Structure 1
Amino acid sequence: MFNPSREQVRQFFMDTWRKHRQDELLTPLEAMALDWIIEHPEYHAVLMDEASTDADYLPEGGRTNPFLHLSMHLAIAEQLSIDQPPGIRAAYQRLVSRTDAHHAAHQLMEALGQIVWEAQRDRSPPDSEKYLELIRRAAG
């Protein structure tokens, strides 16, 4: 998925969860996504509800967007799998040594969210060096 629509992203996660529950074969990307879906049981009901494809998850509503959250987990998992930006895997491993893999991924997610927000605000490409520096700082 290179530039999927909001609906395509949501359908991807919902289809992955459905395929898992029906014991169907998953693609490698779906298998990677499933790992994070399983880590978030609070999203399972959302992923089974077709109305979720149209739901808005606005910050002022106080609800986390499960599709954005899972997408960020998936993006980070892909970054770690190819060590891009270079050094992210080592910094992540330092975080994991002090906590657990899920919490470490959430720390990367915070850094990724900041970098994406700044890039959108500044209308510039994401700053991978700053992203890596934020992660290294969190890793100590």
Structure 2
Amino acid sequence: MKRIAVAGAGLSGAVIAHELALTGEYEIEVFEARSHVAGNCHAVRDSETGIMIHQYGPHIFHTSNERVWKYIQQFDEFMPFTNRVKAITQGRVYSPAGQLAHHQSVFWQDVLPGAGAGISRIPGRHHHCRAEDLRGAGAALRGPRAV
């Protein structure tokens, strides 16, 4: 039997160790620097309230890959969740930049497809661009995405 060392008991390390162990061909040893498994997904239950606390900040698992979804469901039940991120500044609540609601709240107007045509400068940015609509302006400001 071959021996395999896995560095880290976070999500990736745990999956790799699990899959290799299932083959029956390997003896797996997992090394973890922290005092717990699960990496940044680690959560602890508050002893007074019973509420799960995300020790390293919130973690949301999302995928559109059916194979991945079926794989993870063998380990636990996943609850539906809609992420609604908001920011508060100067007493007003905003959606983060890049969301349609953000543009509507900042510019106090409905933003429709085609709105933003001819945008040459977005307030607060020093980058100039030309675009046919807000999506194009956002893409020009953001730059190319990694594939």
Task: Determine which structure has greater relative contact order: mean sequence separation of CA pairs < 8 Å that are 6+ residues apart, divided by chain length.
Answer: 1
Shorter-chain TM-score above 0.5? no
More helix by share: 1
Mark the structure with the bigger radius of gyration: 2
